[in-house]
Chains A and B, each alone.
Chain A
């Protein structure tokens, strides 16, 4: 090895052992000189990888092919002349020179011109599959199924340990989505991932309760996301019984799964939001409708009330009300009067009753009889003595007078054959002129009377 260096630039000979020992710096300086000389004007082709644009304007990336890679730099003055954007996966042809960065001993190619060369292998595969599926009509807008109005059971195909499931569950909770989540744990990168993802979709959509599926994963390199660009996944999405939402990587990442899915969400979080949204809307809709219901009912009542009030305000009711109030007052007045009358009548009746009672008591026949009995007693007491003495005196006188009286009585004359002529009216006929012929008279005699008729009148 040492011998190969000799002719170009021999180092100093070690005195003790006769070996030529080079310093690191010396080796790197030698290599730098050789590379600079032999690779000062190189055309190179490869795929851009790990591309980074620095704020300084310099571009750093690797150029790679199936077996190897080489660090590349494109400084600002050259980068400004590029007619396209460099990006990972892009196949390019560049021109430049090799340079050894002596502090690290690494070498790189400094590119002063870059042009795209077709597409990178992965990009190529992506474009090929995309064209093929598009031709089959799998991306057609009319194939896209609407998401369920209110998802009940959400099938998820993703890694159980990745950021995606975490983000999705957090989002569902945040928006109060009351869904049942059924996770199919799948490897989402590397060998065999695509087959697992495809199986997950098939298994989930075979379960009848699942009404929507999300397939996805968090961000990563194009290689990480690659399973979602494979045909087996695309076919599984197409065959799904229920709508599939894709949520792969970041917003700028587009995969075949995105094109085939019924809805492409930019990220797993966005996918979960699509499922959660109807639940959130349901709550507001319910609140709104309840409000509207109340408002409508109030409006109905208000209108009915208006009708009633309008009727009530009608003149007829005013008149009736006036009449009613008049009647009312009259009734009240009458009632007052009736009461007064009743009261005084009652008082009168009471007074009369007690008066009657008094009078009744006073006029009770019992009392009267008693009183009169007393009076009679007194009277009889008072009368007895004088009357008796008077009577006995009179009796004596009566006996004495009787004899004299008899002599003077007309009745005694009758005994002696005299009679008395009486007119029907009882008057005594003592003159001729008192009677007329034919007139009836009575002749009173000592033991009775004789009925007679006047034949004629005249002087003897």
Chain B
């Protein structure tokens, strides 16, 4: 698959899911030429895969804001107190 076909980089989950749902609806409605259907399907698979990968690589990050001497806030990693 050509990488530069349509941008899935920096994907917005909501937009991607909305597009995916649109694709499913179009496919379900039928009345499409086979090659158009296949093109839609391919785009759908691309989106679904991109979302899944994005979701897999995302993780929970926790930091806290700490005020410095100038009264500005700096981000520091937050270590949870055990127990």
Contact = CB atoms under 8 A, between A and B. Distances in A.
Interface string A165-178: 11001001100011
A50 B62 CA distance: 38
A300 B37 CA distance: 7
Interface in A156-191: 160-161, 165-166, 169, 172-173, 177-185
A293 B20 contact: yes
Interface string B60-82: 11111110000001010010110
A289 B27 contact: no
A430 B14 CA distance: 149
A184 B27 contact: no
Contact of A289 (B41, B48, B75): B48
Contacts of B55: 178, 282-283, 286
Nearest to A282: B13
A299 B52 contact: no
Interface residues of B, number: 35
B65 A297 contact: no
A149 B80 CA distance: 28
Contact of B62 (A169, A203, A293): A169
B58 interface: yes
A290 interface: yes
Contacts, number: 95
B74 to A, nearest CB: 12
Given A286-B51, A299-B28, A178 B58 contact: yes
A286 B45 CA distance: 11
B34 interface: yes
Contacts of A166: 80-81
A303 B34 CA distance: 10
- Chain B interface main SS type: helix
Interface string B9-53: 000011001001101100110101010011001001100100110
A296 B26 CA distance: 9
A149 B65 contact: no
Contacts of A289: 17, 20-21, 24, 48
A304 interface: yes
A285 interface: yes
B60 to A, nearest CB: 6
Given A178-B55, A183-B78, A300-B34, A293 B64 contact: no
Contacts of B14: 149-150
A274 to B, nearest CB: 16
B5 interface: no
A377 interface: no
Contact of A293 (B30, B45, B73): B45
B20 A300 contact: no
B80 A185 contact: no
A171 to B, nearest CB: 11
Nearest to B79: A160
A297 B40 CA distance: 9
A283 B62 CA distance: 21
Which of the listed residues A149, A177, A296 has the most CB atoms from chain B within 10 Å of its own CB?
A296
28 contacts: A150-B13, A160-B64, A160-B78, A165-B80, A166-B80, A178-B55, A180-B60, A180-B63, A182-B65, A183-B63, A282-B13, A282-B17, A292-B28, A293-B20, A293-B24, A293-B41, A293-B45, A293-B48, A296-B24, A297-B37, A297-B44, A299-B27, A299-B28, A299-B30, A300-B27, A300-B30, A300-B32, A300-B34
Given A166-B81, A289-B48, A300-B30, 16 more contacts: A166-B80, A169-B60, A178-B60, A179-B61, A180-B60, A182-B63, A184-B64, A185-B65, A203-B73, A283-B55, A286-B48, A289-B17, A293-B48, A300-B37, A300-B41, A303-B30
